[in-house]
């Protein structure tokens, strides 16, 4: 498990260094939670898809797009990790994180 986290952090350090989602001013495309680390999920707008590795995350992001652009840029110009944040604050101050935490609870991954 630590090896997977190390691979994600080495190949896409921005997701590991990204802060927590703290408000609704920005909606992430990729989310993570300490309860399921090192896993990162892509949010489709209605479901969360587990990414197996950073290459899959970048390919998914390029093919499916991002929820909010950064300075007019998407995954065509930036790393997928730039479009993610953590969802460890409870209750979640971000709508995407609230949906992600509910998803984790339904899966029995978060109490």
* pLDDT confidence bin for 82, thresholds 50/70/90: very high
Q: Report d(CA 59, CA 17) in Å as an integer.
A: 21
Report the pLDDT value the prediction gives residue 1, as an integer from 0 to 100: 41
| Omega within 30 of 0 (cis) for the link into 91 | yes
pLDDT tens-digit map of 6-29: 454 554 454 454 589 999 999 999
Question: Is 7 a member of any domain?
Answer: yes
Average pLDDT of the residues in 22-40: 93
What is the extent of the structural domain holding 48? Answer: 2-105
Q: pLDDT higher for 80 or 4?
A: 80
> E-assigned strands of 11-89?
30-32, 40-43, 48-51, 84-86
Q: What is the pLDDT of residue 18?
A: 58
Strands (E), the chain: 30-32, 40-43, 48-51, 84-86
How far apart, in Å, are the Cα atoms of 51 and each of 23, 33, 42, 91? 24, 13, 7, 25
- pLDDT score recorded for residue 5: 43
The tokens describing 51, both together, are 């990414």
Tell me how crowded residue 107 is: count the other CB atoms within 10 A of its CB: 10
Report d(CA 19, CA 89) in Å as an integer: 11
Number of domains in the chain: 1
User: How sure is the predictor about 2, in pLDDT bands with cuts at 50, 70 and 90?
Assistant: very low
Examine residue 111 and state whether it is found in any structural domain, yes or no: no
Residue-wise pLDDT for 51-68, tens only, equals 999 999 999 999 999 999
């Amino acid at each position: 498990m630590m090896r997977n986290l190390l691979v994600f952090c080495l190949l896409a350090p921005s997701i590991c260094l990204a802060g927590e989602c703290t408000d609704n001013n920005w909606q992430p495309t990729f989310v993570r939670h300490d309860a399921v680390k090192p896993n990162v999920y892509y949010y489709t707008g209605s479901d969360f898809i587990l990414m197996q590795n950073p290459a899959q995350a970048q390919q998914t992001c390029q093919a499916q797009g991002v929820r909010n652009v950064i300075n007019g840029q998407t995954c065509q110009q930036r790393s997928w990790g730039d479009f993610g944040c953590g969802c460890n604050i409870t209750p979640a101050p971000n709508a995407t994180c609230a949906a992600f935490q509910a998803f984790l609870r339904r899966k029995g991954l978060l109490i």
